[in-house]
């Protein structure tokens, strides 16, 4: 039996790889390089656009728990990410080009996957299909999805951060340090004093923004990838409590904590390019150069990619999908990835694995499993089909979606470790792993 997967992003690649590994013949449809979305530039699969970070790596974190669970389910993206990682403190960040190239090779080299480079214009309700076309689904396919979903089709906007060259920053001003000394010198910090910060806020608030397409529609900014200028408009200190927080850092020039910082993270393995962490933006390119040039140490920064903003589309999953990611009205059609209402690269990839696993169980290839909400994959699956949600918003991995422990543990590190063990033991008891790793808690005061 052949199964169709639409889209070779992270979710589509995971879905295709999982199904192929279970012995199914898979037709993976990808419109690149024939056609590109407004945000994608590479012809490779699993292209990372917004950031090269796959979030926290430690097991007693929500993101770390999710990636561990994905490993037990045979994730190709997590395995590749670990091989293509770049230093990023406690996070798993990757050289995005090496990552995409390796995932593409894994998909194209699998004997059970046939890649078809063509644009899909409609969804056949009689074929088993996983729609993983991504949040930038457009054209005839978008219209087909809208017809399937009726009025329950949502539109948002998303943004990406700029990238600069490492040799264009002023090393006499910036300093390398991770917060609380965690991760060594993985981050480069651009320190602000109070006057510099206030001037930067003024410039950011008055800067001209790029014109968005579909400007006649209400702009609903997605919280998970907030443009920095939108965050600044929420209060003069909003950035200082967000991506520009100075806690855990000390400027060696003054010996004191800066008033605010902008952190730069390696974009590629050799560190020649740097990402402005948390600086997704919709400013015009000239304005980005002018305003971001006010960041201490970046007055002569060379931009290799300016930030961009683009439309993201999601379906209203609680009304449309079951917990297994299949449609309630059309049981042969599954959705996966950001279009299904999960937020984040790894969350999207995980949904691809889950959609494929549940489809395979429906077809009798693997045992049927209802991943409980004590697991991160189960909790995210439960969220996207929770009909009690009135105003559905995309959701990423977080401990808030898990049910509480039976005992109250005040220490967060210990509590999060127990949340990991609870999930990991379920995976072990149900035959997905032979062992549960031990978490070594950080020393008191570290973050």
Q: How many residues does the chain have?
A: 447
Distance CA 157, CA 311 (A): 4
Q: What is the CA radius of gyration of the chain?
A: 22
Distance CA 219, CA 215 (A): 8
| pLDDT at residue 215 in the model | 36
Please give the average per-residue pLDDT across 383-387, as a whole number: 92
- DSSP-based three-state secondary structure for 244: coil
Higher model confidence: residue 296 or residue 310? 296
Q: Give domain status of residue 432, yes or no.
A: no
| pLDDT at residue 442 in the model | 73
Sign of CA dihedral 91, 243, 209, 292: negative
Q: Give domain status of residue 447, yes or no.
A: no
Whether the per-residue pLDDT at 197 is higher than 90: the answer is yes
| pLDDT at residue 443 in the model | 63
Domain count, the chain: 2
Whether the per-residue pLDDT at 223 is higher than 90: the answer is no
Q: What is the dihedral of CA 167, 171, 177, 183, to 10 degrees?
A: 20
Please give the average per-residue pLDDT across 82-102, as a whole number: 94
Mean pLDDT, all residues of the chain: 92
Same-domain status, 258 and 188: yes
Task: Report the percent of the chain where pLDDT is more than 90.
Answer: 77
Q: Give domain status of residue 111, yes or no.
A: yes
Same-domain status, 260 and 334: no
Whether the per-residue pLDDT at 446 is higher than 50: the answer is no
> Exposed, middle or buried, 218 (CB in 10 Å: 0-12/13-18/19+)?
exposed
Whether the per-residue pLDDT at 220 is higher than 70: the answer is no
DSSP-assigned states of every residue in 193-205: -HHHHHHHHHHHH
| pLDDT at residue 217 in the model | 45
C-beta of residue 320 within 8 angstroms of C-beta of residue 146: no
Q: What is the pTM of this model?
A: 0.81
Same-domain status, 223 and 145: no
Range of the domain at 132: 2-158+312-401
Same-domain status, 188 and 104: no
C-beta of residue 53 within 8 angstroms of C-beta of residue 91: yes
Q: Give domain status of residue 409, yes or no.
A: no
Q: Give domain status of residue 321, yes or no.
A: yes
- Which of 307, 339, 362 finishes a domain? 307
pLDDT tens for 239-293 read 999 999 999 999 999 999 999 999 999 887 778 889 999 999 999 999 999 999 9
- For the sheet with 2-6, list strands across it: 113-116, 25-29, 2-6, 129-131, 333-335
Residue 321's nearest CA partner among 365, 380, 403 is 380
Distance CA 17, CA 12 (A): 8
Same-domain status, 198 and 135: no
Same-domain status, 8 and 149: yes
| pLDDT at residue 270 in the model | 77
| pLDDT at residue 212 in the model | 65
| pLDDT at residue 310 in the model | 73
- Identify the CATH number of the domain in which residue 127 sits: 3.50.50.60
| pLDDT at residue 225 in the model | 73
Same-domain status, 332 and 279: no
Same-domain status, 172 and 151: no
Q: Long-range CB contacts (< 8 A, 24+ apart) of 364-372?
A: 365/22, 365/23, 365/24, 366/22, 369/430, 370/323, 372/426
Whether the per-residue pLDDT at 178 is higher than 60: the answer is yes
- DSSP-based three-state secondary structure for 241: helix
**Residue 350 contacts by C-beta under 8 Å, 6 or more apart in sequence?**
14, 66, 69, 70, 73, 75, 342, 376, 377, 380
- DSSP-based three-state secondary structure for 170: coil
Distance CA 65, CA 125 (A): 35
C-beta of residue 7 within 8 angstroms of C-beta of residue 134: yes
Same-domain status, 249 and 394: no
C-beta of residue 120 within 8 angstroms of C-beta of residue 34: no
Whether the per-residue pLDDT at 389 is higher than 50: the answer is yes
Q: Give domain status of residue 273, yes or no.
A: yes
Q: Tokens representing 443?
A: 């020393």
Whether the per-residue pLDDT at 99 is higher than 80: the answer is yes
Same-domain status, 112 and 148: yes
Whether the per-residue pLDDT at 236 is higher than 80: the answer is yes
Q: Give domain status of residue 414, yes or no.
A: no
Give whole-number Cα distances, 416 to 295, 404, 421, in Å. Answer: 36, 10, 9
C-beta of residue 383 within 8 angstroms of C-beta of residue 48: no
pLDDT tens for 328-355 read 999 999 999 999 999 899 999 999 999 9
- Which of 307, 325, 352 finishes a domain? 307
Same-domain status, 235 and 283: yes
| pLDDT at residue 183 in the model | 64
Q: Give domain status of residue 202, yes or no.
A: yes
Residue 87's nearest CA partner among 49, 61, 52 is 52
Same-domain status, 99 and 28: yes
Higher model confidence: residue 214 or residue 293? 293
- Identify the CATH number of the domain in which residue 235 sits: 2.40.30
pLDDT tens for 12-60 read 999 999 999 999 999 999 999 999 887 788 999 999 987 889 999 999 9
- Which of 290, 307, 324 finishes a domain? 307
DSSP-assigned states of every residue in 12-66: HHHHHHHHHHTT-EEEEE--TTTS--SS---SSSS---S-SEEEE-STTSHHHHH
Task: Report the percent of the chain where pLDDT is more than 70.
Answer: 96
Whether the per-residue pLDDT at 447 is higher than 50: the answer is no
| pLDDT at residue 213 in the model | 55
pLDDT band at residue 216 under the 50/70/90 scheme:
very low
| pLDDT at residue 268 in the model | 79
For residue 262, what are the β-bridge partners?
Answer: 190
| pLDDT at residue 186 in the model | 83
């Amino acid at each position: 039996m052949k199964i169709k997967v639409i889209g070779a992003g992270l979710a589509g690649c995971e879905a295709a790889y999982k199904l192929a590994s279970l012995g199914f013949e898979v037709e993976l449809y990808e419109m690149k390089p024939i056609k590109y979305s407004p945000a994608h530039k590479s012809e490779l699969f699993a292209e990372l656009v917004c950031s090269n970070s796959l979030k926290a790596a430690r097991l007693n974190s929500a993101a770390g728990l999710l990636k561990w669970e994905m490993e037990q389910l045979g994730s190709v993206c997590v395995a590749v990410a670990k091989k293509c990682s770049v230093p990023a403190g406690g996070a798993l960040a990757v050289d995005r080009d090496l990552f995409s190239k390796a995932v593409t090779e894994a998909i194209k080299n699998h004997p059970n996957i046939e890649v078809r480079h063509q644009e899909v214009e409609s969804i056949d309700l009689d074929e088993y299909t996983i729609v993983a076309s991504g949040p930038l689904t457009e054209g005839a396919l978008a219209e087909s999805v809208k017809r399937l979903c009726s009025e329950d089709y949502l539109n948002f906007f998303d943004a990406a951060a700029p990238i600069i060259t490492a040799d264009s920053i002023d090393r006499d001003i910036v300093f390398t340090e991770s917060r609380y000394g965690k991760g060594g010198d993985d981050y480069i910090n651009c320190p602000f004093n109070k006057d510099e910060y206030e001037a930067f806020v003024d410039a950011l608030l008055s800067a001209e923004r790029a014109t968005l397409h579909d400007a006649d529609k209400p702009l609903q900014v997605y919280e998970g990838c907030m443009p920095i200028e939108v965050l600044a408009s929420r209060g003069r200190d909003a950035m200082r409590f967000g991506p520009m927080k100075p806690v855990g850092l000390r400027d060696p020039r003054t010996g004191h904590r800066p008033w605010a910082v902008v952190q730069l993270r390696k974009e590629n393995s050799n560190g020649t390019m740097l990402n402005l962490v948390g600086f997704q933006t919709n400013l015009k390119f000239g304005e980005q150069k002018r305003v971001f040039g006010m960041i201490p140490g970046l007055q002569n920064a060379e931009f290799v990619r300016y930030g961009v903003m683009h439309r993201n589309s999601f379906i209203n999953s609680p009304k449309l999908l079951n917990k297994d990611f299949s449609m309630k009205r059309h049981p042969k059609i599954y959705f996966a990835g950001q279009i299904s209402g999960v937020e984040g690269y790894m969350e999207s990839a995980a949904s691809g694995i889950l959609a494929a696993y549940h489809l395979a169980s429906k077809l009798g290839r693997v045992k049927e499993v209802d991943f409980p909400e004590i697991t991160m994959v189960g909790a995210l699956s439960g969220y996207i089909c929770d009909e009690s949600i009135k105003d559905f918003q995309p959701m990423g991995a977080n401990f808030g979606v898990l049910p509480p422990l039976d005992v109250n543990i005040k220490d967060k590190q210990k509590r999060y470790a127990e949340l990991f063990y609870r999930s990991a033991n379920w995976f072990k008891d149900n035959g997905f792993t032979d062992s549960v790793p031990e978490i070594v808690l950080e020393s008191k005061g570290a973050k």
